[in-house]
Structure 1
């Protein structure tokens, strides 16, 4: 069991409590967003303190296209540069760059982006508009090239050599793995081996700090949690967080701890669950603020930043403290067993997929083959039917 110590507290916006906390991968910076809010807040979490910078204020909401009414209900997409204190915020057909000196003048882009992610080298911005397309943008020159389709978000393995993202429809979701491209603007180079999940509406995958596990929060129908070992993609845990809609859990409520194999889960009662994914033992820690948790993340230094439904923030330290975990060399193992998808690949035909238990999609000579999934045997819908 880990002891949690409160390092700092801060009041935020009780009218629009933070629903997503996006941390910088290397610096003690965290951005916070909320649905129906045009304000992107930024905090410095270094040195055991919480200091709020000048936010990105996107101003009055634009009148959305009637066909995309839901845009006014979602938070602005944001992405941190992997090295620099640079945050990019999307708003319709513009991008705003934030640094500690404040936000820039918005820059015009060719599409309204729903999701953003930097490539691990920081030279390309991967951007996902609506529809079955995506772009790779070189922020230095403004040039853009079409890229393979992805949606929801991008998880970067701590080695920086592999990323994971989702491709969804109503019946199933593929968790696709890809290598970053070499020259900007460089698109993801998607790989043949993939995970398949049972529905849609999952959150962005989350690699553990040592790269040995991948957590997936979802889905549109159930408050679920699935954890897979990496690189084997063996499912080590699956759990339903809530059985009905009477107690909706926060969507952005997962954070890997500094202790290997420990996943922290924020709850609608305000407590934090400390889950050992291998033993599946759970310890409940009381609420640090007495209000339901609305978002959770782990900072680059390993502290936990918790947002509450009353607008409060709490920075927590795990004690006894642990040194940064060593990143496992699982990417080399994974890459040795797969290959890049051809251009114009058909996922249903060309992927080799696993649900964490069974693997199918390739016959004995390694070529794509018929589905042999247990979910076909029991009549469940998925994308390979």
Structure 2
């Protein structure tokens, strides 16, 4: 396990509590999304320099719950190479650079997307949901926007966000539904179009955050869900479930334990990050500690570093440190002493993507994504025929499988 030290900390310079942090993939820039109003703050965490905010004059959220703020919480996307941040907030889309705030290049400032992500080469903006209507068959879509020409191409439907494997060539994203969520994978074509693959993960209910890949490409993790504080971690490319917990199980003594909604509020929804050391996942807690999970050793250590101030957001930098937002209005740059940034062996990274692609196939481009998926929860696998015929499930099974069994039984009775 790692010794952990705070190498820098600074006040939020007038910002409110931060509920999400998003680091630039290469530069020492971090964007923080305010928890009190639809505002985005930008810092340089090496120079401890506050670059300013976007939307600081917006009306506050007041007593609105997280799920009641739909449409108001900003979306951000860092360019993969340049110091450029796209911000989608109440006033539309703007772009920030060190020179200031301006209208975005190649994108309408009135665009009404919920999520945005740059392609790995920065030439395409993936945006969801599509500005156009759904297909005739009701299938929802996203947009792929060529930023040089402004041309918009229809792409597969996704929500929440897109994670690209560190080797490139493969993306993971979500198709959420109240009963079950599919984490789909897509081969990235030369034009950055998403070619959806049959092999996919199935997650119970909805309300998950964007999945994240580890720097060495060996694991991916996801934080959710709408009804519980869960963290799941899968081996890649096998998609075997290697770690799963409800964060209440990690909860230290004290505080309310009988009101589930209060527990949901106490844990940050953006409180996980992969460490630079392979097989290490960090989890921020409401009591100010960072839990270090080593999935290779199957151990967990609680590092108390924040003097009981809750972790409100957590993310990893491009060089292996952690940026932590606290309930005291601070940002901290935290360095695990034994961790060195390691993007992994390039050949091994590419080989893992190749192995995943070789173990599956692309689905036809007819819009009916779910009909072709072969789904796994990391322990068992089902194809669509299996799920159409299952009629029994126990209370130990996930709720999505229990629901499928009930619906299939009713369907059979009506035939």
By the TM > 0.5 criterion, same fold? yes
Task: Please identify, of 34-43 and 331-340, the stretch whose mean Cα deviation from structure 2 is larger.
Answer: 34-43
Within the candidate set 179, 187, 192, 2:198 is matched to 192
- 2-structure distance, mates of 1:272, 1:175: 27
1:57-206 correspondence runs (5 A)? 57=55, 59-60=57-58, 70-71=68-69, 74-92=72-90, 94-105=92-103, 108-109=108-109, 111-129=111-129, 132-183=140-191, 186-206=192-212
Q: CA deviation at 1:61?
A: 5.3
- 1-structure distance, mates of 2:356, 2:216: 15
Within the candidate set 307, 328, 333, 2:325 is matched to 307
Q: CA deviation at 1:290?
A: 3.6
Alignment RMSD, CA only?
2.6
Contact 1:92 1:113 in 2 (8 A): no
- 2-structure distance, mates of 1:174, 1:158: 21
TM-score, reference length from structure 1:
0.88
Contact 2:38 2:90 in 1 (8 A): no
- 2-structure distance, mates of 1:194, 1:281: 28
TM-score, reference length from structure 2:
0.82
- 2-structure distance, mates of 1:43, 1:111: 26
The equivalent residue for 1:66 is none
Segments of structure 1 that go 5 or more residues without pairing to the other structure are 63-68, 362-367
Aligned-partner SS, 1:260: coil
- 2-structure distance, mates of 1:61, 1:104: 21
The equivalent residue for 2:52 is 54
Q: Does 1:278 align with 2:304?
A: no
- 2-structure distance, mates of 1:350, 1:72: 31
Contact 1:174 1:195 in 2 (8 A): yes
Q: CA deviation at 1:74?
A: 4.2
Task: Please identify, of 71-80 and 145-154, the stretch whose mean Cα deviation from structure 2 is larger.
Answer: 71-80
Q: CA deviation at 1:299?
A: 0.6
Alpha carbons of 1:245 and 1:93: their partners in 2 closer, same or farther (altered >3 Å)? closer
Segments of structure 2 that go 5 or more residues without pairing to the other structure are 61-66, 135-139, 250-259, 408-415
- Bigger share in helix: 2
- 1-structure distance, mates of 2:354, 2:127: 27
Alpha carbons of 1:15 and 1:84: their partners in 2 closer, same or farther (altered >3 Å)? closer
The equivalent residue for 2:137 is none
The equivalent residue for 1:217 is 223
Q: CA deviation at 1:120?
A: 1.2
The equivalent residue for 1:365 is none
Alpha carbons of 1:374 and 1:202: their partners in 2 closer, same or farther (altered >3 Å)? farther
- 2-structure distance, mates of 1:202, 1:58: 27
- 2-structure distance, mates of 1:376, 1:299: 46
Q: CA deviation at 1:372?
A: 8.7
